[in-house]
Structure 1
Amino acid sequence: MEDVCLHKSNIKVVFKLLSDLVLSDKRYRLIIKIWKDKRSIDQNSLSHMWYDDIAKQANRRSKKDVYTLESVKADFKKMFLGYQEVEHKNVITGEITTTQELVKTSELDVGEMHFYLQQIETWSYQNGFELRIPRDSEYQKLKNKQVE
Structure 2
Amino acid sequence: MMLCHILLISVKPEYANKIFEDKTKKVELRRVRTRVKTGDIVFVYVSSPKKTFIGFFEVDFVIEKSATKNELKELWKQVKDHAGIKRQEFYKYYEGASVAVGIYFINAKKFEKPIELHRLKDKISNLRPPQSYRYLNEKEYETIMLLGGENPSMMTNN
Tell me if TM exceeds 0.5: no
> Scaled by the length of structure 1, what TM-score is found?
0.26
> Scaled by the length of structure 2, what TM-score is found?
0.25
In our comparison, the structure showing a higher alpha carbon Rg is 1
Q: If each structure's strand is expressed as a fraction of its own residues, which one has the higher value?
A: 2
Comparing both chains, which one has the higher relative contact order based on Cα–Cα distances under 8 Å and sequence gaps of 6 or more? 2
